[in-house]
């Protein structure tokens, strides 16, 4: 509905301009460069309202207000600057608490954008020129000048400032903030009303990142501001992963025939246009003429819709996004504009032209400033927005605040004078303009901003969307905002449903150099290309990417594995050497069988405990060894089943202790044989060892040493439950980690040391003349034991998962079986199958020729 209302208003524009094409009054050609509004104190205003052309331009057939003659072009949009100045001055003059008994006035001078005429007008104002003759350092009319308001271009402010700084004359600029003008060494009395654009690059880049545009162009003026902002954009874009497709620097001497400027403009769908109105005027006009409707233009200036009658044609800048500083709307200013007319301000040279042009008023023959035959309800607020917008814009707000800054400074200076000379209240205000500088620096204007512009930073931006369909609508709708002070993630606020995009796009435009990498792929940058130009490559083994456009794939967490599409991780199944597994069941069965067999051997030895073969080899040590071997077989069951903390500790401690006792028992048996047969003339010590059964103490001593090693192991780095997620794809193997590898190998090394010692003792007594001498069997069992565990180490470290656990169980069973088989197998054979050999008669026959007396075993 709102769009249709503007549409019908746009249709009324031909009524404004019909019959004017060839009937413009001669009063229109009586152009003056300035006009004055009287006051006790005068402010100088230098605004660009009309431009003179040297080349011949014919009037436009349907829009005479664009080219009024062959030399002059008016920009009536800038007339709002005069209205803002007039509004502020009237408001101040009505305020009894601000500059009482003193009225403000202004002198207006047009700015033509040429250095000669700009300085010419500044000289005229400073010297109150009579007959356009300069009298430097002399005020012809003795007027109280206060400050100069300059804009909109920084070039204009710099040119006038170069002259005014000679006198330290206060100068207030309302154009865009420029760091060059903030140099107080060069411009000591210049004050910028516009806030710094410190957060502009961050605001624009945040918007680009929000829509995931990664390939954008940049157009900006080739000057100090352009060079500074391009580095800011690059820095912010680099953080967000956004690339510049091209950077176009607008030369100072712009020409539409600059062909190289338009190259590569079609490489992106989004282009940033940065600069002020004056520096961008030429390039924007050319962009509009080329009808580049495939682009979303992001700008920091409010684009002036070019006035044409082809309202139903597409417009280049329809759907553009504009960033403007946030400022408070002044509704009183809108009411004031409705009351403005030529009769109210007869000194104004522009109001009669507006009334003559748009309301068919005719100039009086005697005085061109008096209009006849005018509509009684004629007002500026009836104009369409693209011709004249009654709302106060950013520049008008800066002018308004600038006038108030001057007024407050004059007021403070006047109060200070009255305090020093209280009896001269009736005397008018008399001062030198340079005296205001001290007060201007500390003045606070209406929007609570201080004029110490080194610290003035505005971080609030409104985001406007240009609705210009049909062409000429020129509606700028606020669709969002940006606040740099807001928390991260909440700085940008947008109403996407309100945005109108260029007509070529049916949805949110895309602007990328390379198509997005789908989940399961990652981006790989191309050598010599921007980071936004890449190729997509699949993720590696057990890696996924479940988002688009990622640079790195993510490893699946422990306990998960990647699917074939590599866009999701699934939970791995948990496995271990269980009793239900064939391998686990086989090992457990073997362990139980061997332990049962050992118990059976114990039974045989107990039943035949009084036979010579049992008594001949130290019956007590045999019982201990058999019981220890039973536990050795049973300790292998700790390695089967789901591990827990207790079983992980028991696995190593029971294995270490039981095998230590077994090997210590074998060592004790071997030493006993050596002491009995190898010592030819036993002395008192040897006899005492034999009688007191000293070798039996080897068992607790060796066991205590192993317990000490295990205690240190458990105290420093005990075994713990671990997971192997890499050996089997899609599975997690739960097993016990040994903790300290040094301690584990120390335990094995100690066992091998005992086995080597037992082997040595048994080997020394292998040829002793005894019927039941078991030294050969002891040495062979130790040799097998030693070979099993020496072979175990490399095999153990070369296997993974359940096989590694099964390998340790197998080594335990194999080494225990070797001890059982080689030490007790021959004895059981004699006891069960050759009982005739297990008798004292058989022993006497075998030992008749040997020594008659030998120590009793």
Q: Evaluate if residue 11 carries a pLDDT over 60.
A: no
Helix and strand numbers (H, E) in the chain are 23, 27
Give the per-residue pLDDT at 172.
92
Taking every pair of C-alpha atoms in the chain, what is the biggest distance, in angstroms?
A: 169
Sign of CA dihedral 423, 428, 429, 431: negative
Which residue has better confidence, 670 or 644? 644
Sign of CA dihedral 660, 666, 672, 678: negative
| Structure confidence by residue, pLDDT tens digits, 370-401 | 777 777 778 888 877 767 778 888 888 889 99
Burial-class residue 779 by CB neighbours within 10 Å (0-12, 13-18, 19+): buried
Give the per-residue pLDDT at 399.
92
- Domain residue ranges in the chain: 2-196+330-440, 200-326+459-498, 521-571, 582-847
Q: Dump the DSSP string for 814-852.
A: HHHHHHIIIIIHHHHHHHHH-GGGSSHHHHHHHHTTS-S
Helix (H, G, I), strand (E, B) or coil at 272: strand
Q: Evaluate if residue 176 carries a pLDDT over 80.
A: yes
| Structure confidence by residue, pLDDT tens digits, 765-824 | 666 555 556 777 777 888 888 788 888 878 877 887 788 888 889 988 998 898 888 888
Give the number of other Cβ atoms within 10 Å of residue 717's Cβ.
16
Per-residue confidence band for 95, with pLDDT thresholds at 50, 70 and 90: very high
Give the per-residue pLDDT at 590.
93
Q: Evaluate if residue 856 carries a pLDDT over 50.
A: no
Per-residue confidence band for 449, with pLDDT thresholds at 50, 70 and 90: low
| Residue 521: closest CA among 561, 560, 551, 562 | 551
For 490, the token pair is 């909440």
- 396: Cβ contacts below 8 Å, ≥ 6 apart: 80, 81, 83, 84, 333
CATH of 2-196+330-440, one of 1.25.40.10, 3.30.1360.10, 3.40.50.300, 3.40.50.2300: 3.40.50.2300
Q: Evaluate if residue 92 carries a pLDDT over 90.
A: yes
Give the per-residue pLDDT at 828.
87
Give the number of other Cβ atoms within 10 Å of residue 88's Cβ.
26
Per-residue confidence band for 538, with pLDDT thresholds at 50, 70 and 90: very high
Global pTM reads: 0.62
Average pLDDT score over the chain: 79
| Structure confidence by residue, pLDDT tens digits, 480-533 | 999 988 888 889 999 999 999 988 888 899 998 888 889 999 988 888 888 888
Q: What is the average pLDDT across 615-621?
A: 77
Q: What is the C-alpha end-to-end distance of the chain, expressed in Å?
A: 120
Per-residue confidence band for 22, with pLDDT thresholds at 50, 70 and 90: very low
**Interhelix angle 802-819/775-798, nearest 10 degrees:** 180
Q: Dump the DSSP string for 176-225.
A: S--GGGG-TTT-TTEEE-SPB-TTHHHHHHHHHHHTT--EEEEEEESSHH
Give the per-residue pLDDT at 783.
82
Between CA 90 and CA 37 the distance in angstroms is 11
Strands 34-37 and 362-363: unpaired
- Rounded to 5 degrees, what are φ and ψ at 255? -140, 140
CA distances from 838 to 219, 599, 611 (A): 111, 21, 7
**H-run or E-run covering 598:** helix 582-607
21-30, 60-69, 81-90, 352-361: which has the minimum mean pLDDT?
Answer: 60-69
Whether the CB-CB separation of 152 and 175 falls below 8 Å is answered with yes
The number of residues in the chain equals 857
Quote the strand ranges of 374-474, DSSP E: 460-467
Question: How is residue 26 annotated by DSSP?
Answer: G
Between CA 669 and CA 663 the distance in angstroms is 10
For 595, the token pair is 């332990």
Give the per-residue pLDDT at 30.
66
Give the per-residue pLDDT at 18.
36
For the domain made up of 200-326+459-498, the CATH class stated in words is: alpha beta
- Rounded to 5 degrees, what are φ and ψ at 545? -140, 115
Q: Do the domains at 2-196+330-440 and 200-326+459-498 have one common CATH topology?
A: yes
Between CA 479 and CA 495 the distance in angstroms is 5
Give the per-residue pLDDT at 14.
39
For 243, the token pair is 């690339």
Percent of the chain with pLDDT over 70: 79
- Domain 582-847: assigned CATH number: 1.20.1070.10
| Structure confidence by residue, pLDDT tens digits, 186-224 | 888 999 888 887 888 999 999 999 998 989 999 998 888
Q: Evaluate if residue 67 carries a pLDDT over 70.
A: no
Give me the residue label for tokens 């051997």. Answer: 601
Sign of CA dihedral 231, 463, 475, 400: negative
Question: How is residue 249 annotated by DSSP?
Answer: E
| Residue 587: closest CA among 636, 635, 632 | 636
Give me the residue label for tokens 């995009």. Answer: 501
Between CA 367 and CA 116 the distance in angstroms is 31
Q: Evaluate if residue 1 carries a pLDDT over 80.
A: no
CB-side neighbour CA atoms (13 Å) of 451: 30
| Structure confidence by residue, pLDDT tens digits, 457-478 | 567 899 999 888 777 677 889 9
Percent of the chain with pLDDT over 90: 18
Between CA 725 and CA 733 the distance in angstroms is 6
Q: How far is CA 122 from the centre of its chain?
A: 51
Whether the CB-CB separation of 122 and 160 falls below 8 Å is answered with yes
């Amino acid at each position: 509905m709102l769009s249709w209302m503007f549409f019908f208003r746009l249709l009324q524009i031909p009524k404004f301009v019909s019959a004017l094409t060839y009937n413009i009054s001669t009063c229109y050609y009586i152009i003056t460069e300035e006009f004055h509004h009287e006051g006790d104190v005068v402010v100088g205003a230098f605004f660009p309202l009309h431009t003179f052309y040297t080349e011949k331009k014919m009037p436009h057939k349907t829009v005479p207000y664009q080219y009024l003659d062959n030399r002059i072009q008016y920009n009536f949009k800038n007339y709002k600057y005069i209205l803002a100045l007039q509004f502020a001055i009237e408001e101040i003059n009505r305020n009894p608490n601000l500059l009482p008994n003193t009225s403000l006035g202004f002198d207006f001078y047009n700015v033509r954008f040429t250095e000669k005429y700009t300085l010419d007008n500044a000289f005229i104002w400073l010297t109150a020129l009579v007959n356009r003759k300069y009298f430097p350092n002399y005020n012809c009319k003795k007027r109280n000048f206060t400050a100069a308001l300059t804009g909109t271009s920084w070039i204009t402010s710099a040119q006038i400032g170069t002259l005014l700084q000679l006198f330290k004359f206060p100068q207030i600029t309302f154009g865009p903030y420029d760091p060059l003008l903030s140099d107080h060494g060069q411009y000591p009395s210049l004050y910028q009303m516009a806030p710094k654009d410190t957060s502009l690059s961050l605001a624009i880049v945040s918007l680009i990142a929000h829509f995931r545009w990664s390939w954008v162009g940049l157009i900006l003026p080739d000057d100090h501001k352009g060079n500074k902002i391009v580095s800011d954009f690059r820095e912010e874009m680099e953080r967000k992963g956004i690339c510049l497709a091209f950077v176009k620097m607008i030369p100072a001497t712009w020409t539409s025939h600059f062909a190289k400027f338009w190259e590569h403009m079609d490489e992106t769908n989004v282009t940033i246009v940065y600069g002020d109105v004056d520096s961008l005027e030429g390039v924007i006009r050319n962009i509009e003429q080329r009808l580049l409707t495939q682009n979303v233009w992001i700008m920091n200036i409010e684009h002036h819709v070019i006035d044409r009658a082809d309202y139903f044609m597409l417009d280049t800048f329809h759907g553009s996004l504009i960033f403007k500083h946030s400022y408070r709307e002044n509704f009183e200013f809108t009411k004031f504009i409705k009351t403005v007319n030529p009769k109210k301000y007869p000194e104004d040279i522009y109001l009669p032209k507006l009334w003559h042009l748009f309301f068919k008023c005719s100039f009086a023959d005697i005085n061109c400033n008096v209009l006849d035959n005018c509509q009684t309800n004629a007002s500026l607020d009836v104009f369409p927005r693209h011709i004249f917008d009654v709302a106060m814009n950013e520049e008008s707000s800066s002018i308004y605040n600038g006038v108030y800054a001057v007024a407050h400074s004059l007021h403070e200076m006047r109060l200070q004078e009255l305090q020093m000379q209280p009896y001269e209240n009736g005397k008018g205000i008399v001062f030198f303009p340079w005296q205001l500088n001290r007060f201007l620096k500390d003045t606070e204007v209406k929007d609570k901003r201080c004029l110490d512009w080194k610290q003035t930073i505005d971080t609030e931006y409104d985001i406007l969307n240009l609705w210009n369909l049909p062409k000429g609508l020129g509606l700028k709708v606020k669709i969002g905002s940006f606040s740099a002070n807001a928390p991260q993630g909440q700085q940008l606020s947008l109403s996407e449903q309100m945005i109108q995009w260029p007509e070529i796009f049916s949805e949110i435009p895309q602007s990328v150099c390379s198509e997005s990498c789908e989940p399961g792929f990652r981006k790989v940058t191309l050598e010599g290309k921007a980071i936004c130009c890449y190729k997509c490559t699949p993720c590696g083994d057990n890696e996924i990417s479940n988002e688009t456009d990622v640079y790195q794939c993510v490893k699946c967490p422990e306990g998960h594995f990647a699917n074939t599409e590599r866009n999701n991780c699934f939970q791995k199944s948990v496995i271990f050497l269980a009793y239900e597994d064939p391998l686990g069941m086989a090992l457990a069965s073997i362990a139980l069988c061997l332990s049962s067999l050992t118990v059976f051997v114990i039974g045989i030895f107990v039943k035949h405990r009084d036979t010579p073969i049992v008594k001949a080899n130290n019956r007590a040590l045999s019982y201990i060894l058999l019981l220890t071997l039973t536990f050795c077989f049973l300790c292998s069951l700790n390695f089967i089943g789901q591990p827990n903390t207790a079983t992980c500790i028991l696995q190593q401690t029971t294995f270490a202790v039981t095998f230590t006792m077994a090997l210590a028992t074998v060592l004790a048996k071997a030493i006993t044989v050596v002491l009995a047969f190898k010592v030819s003339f036993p002395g008192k010590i040897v006899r005492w060892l034999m009688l007191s059964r000293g070798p039996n103490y080897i068992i607790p001593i060796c066991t205590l040493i192993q317990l000490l090693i295990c205690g240190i192991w458990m105290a420093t780095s005990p075994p713990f439950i671990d997971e192997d997620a890499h050996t089997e794809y899609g599975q997690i193997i739960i097993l016990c980690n040994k903790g300290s590898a040094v301690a584990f190998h120390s335990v094995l090394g100690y066992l091998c040391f005992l086995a080597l010692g037992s082997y040595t003792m048994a080997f020394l007594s292998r040829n002793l003349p005894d019927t039941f001498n078991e030294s050969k069997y002891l040495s062979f069992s130790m040799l097998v034991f030693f070979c099993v565990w020496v072979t175990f180490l490399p095999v153990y470290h070369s296997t993974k998962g359940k096989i590694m656990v099964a390998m340790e169980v197998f080594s335990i069973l194999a080494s225990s079986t070797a001890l059982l088989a080689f030490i007790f197998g021959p004895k059981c054979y004699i006891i069960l199958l050759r009982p005739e050999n297990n008798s004292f008669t058989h022993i006497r026959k075998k030992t008749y020729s040997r020594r008659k007396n030998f120590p009793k075993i």
